[in-house]
Amino acid sequence: MRVRLGLLINFHILTGLNDSTKVKKNKVALEVVGAQKSFGQVEVLKGIDLEILAGERVGLMGPSGSGKSTLLNCICGIEPLDKGLIKVAGLDLTGLKQGELEKLRRENMGYVFQSFHLLPTLSAFENVEFAAQLVGITKDERIKRVTDLFEQVGLSHRMDHLPNALSGGERQRVAIARALVHQPGLVLADEPTGSLDTESGSQVLELLKSLSSNLQVALLLVTHDHESTRICDRVITMKDGSLIAE
Ligand code: ADP
Ligand code: MG
C-alpha cells in the first residue's frame, strides 16, 4: 500500500498539464519564508525560514517526526502551506494555478525518495527517458542525455533491466539519473540512502554530489545520518517543526 501510494505521488509529481509558464534559472533556487503547516490540531511546521542558492547543497537533519518530509512535500507543492511562502526559481508556489505548479515541479524540480519509486513496468532507461519526455526534450537529445547519465551513474550495462531486476543501490542510481535528466534547479532528496547498505549509500551520495556540482543543481538532502551530510555545503537541523540555529 505504501509503495503504491508512493508511486501514485511520484506519478503525480512527474506528470502535469501543459501551459505556458516560463521558468528561468534564478540565483536563489529555493526561498521559504515563515512556512506554517498543521495537520488537524498538530502544528508540524512552525514558521520555517530557509534560502538555498543555485548549486548549493544543504543537509536537513532532525529526529523522526520533526517535520522534514512535510517541509519537502510543501516545497514540491504536494501539501499547501497554511501560512508563509515558498518560492522555487523565483516563483511563489501559492500564486500558481494547478497546471502552472505542475509545470514548475516537472521542469525545475527533481526528487529522490528512500524507496526509489521507479515505474515497475518501464526499463531503467525508459524510467529516466520518461522524465525527459514530460518536459518536451526531443528524442535524439533524450537518448543522448539518458545514455550519458547512465554512464555517469555507472549503469550503462543495466539500462534495459526492469527495476525489480536491479539492486537497491542500482535502483537509487537510476532514480538519481531520473531526478537530473531535465536539469532542474533544485533536487529534493528524502533519506535517499535510508534503505541502502553503507557502500551503496556512499556511492549514491557521491553521485548526488558530483552530478549536482556538474549540473549546478541545488540539493536539499534530508537524512538521519550525520555522515551523509559530508557532501553538503551546510547543514540545518529541525526540531519540533522549527529550524534550530546552524
Ligand atoms: P519527519 O519526516 O521529520 O520524520 P514528518 O514530516 O513525516 O516528519 O511528520 C511530522 C509530523 O507530522 C508527524 O507527527 C506526523 O505524524 C505528522 N504528519 C505528517 N503527515 C501527515 C498527514 N498527512 N496527516 C496527519 N499528520 C501528518
Ligand atoms: Mg520523513
Q: How do residues 74-85 score in pLDDT, each as one tens digit? A: 999 999 999 999
The model carries a pTM of 0.89
pLDDT tens figures, 60-115: 999 999 999 999 999 999 999 999 999 999 999 988 999 999 999 999 999 999 99
pLDDT tens figures, 132-169: 999 999 999 999 999 999 999 999 999 999 999 999 99
Query: What sections of the chain are H helices per DSSP?
Result: 2-14, 68-75, 98-108, 124-134, 139-152, 168-180, 198-215
Partners of 42 in beta bridges: 39
- Please tell me if the CB atom of residue 67 comes closer than 6 angstroms to any atom of ligand 1: yes
Q: State the CATH number of the domain containing residue 10.
A: 3.40.50.300
Surrounding residues of ion ligand 2, Cβ less than 5 A: 69
Count of CB atoms within 10 A of residue 183's CB? 16
Helices 139-152 + 168-180 axis angle, to 10: 140
pLDDT at 24: 43
Query: Which of the four pLDDT bands, split at 50, 70 and 90, describes residue 41?
Result: very high
Per cent of the chain over pLDDT 70 is 89
Q: How many structural domains are present in the chain?
A: 1
Question: What does the alpha-carbon distance between residue 182 and residue 104 come to, in Å, rounded to a whole number?
Answer: 12
pLDDT at 224: 86
Range of the domain at 42: 2-245
Atom of ligand 1 nearest to the CA of 62: 3
Atom of ligand 1 nearest to the CA of 63: 3
User: Above 60 in pLDDT, residue 21?
Assistant: no
Q: 223 Cβ partners below 8 Å, 6+ apart?
A: 59, 60, 61, 191, 192, 193, 194, 229
C-alpha of residue 41 to centroid of ligand 1, in Å: 12
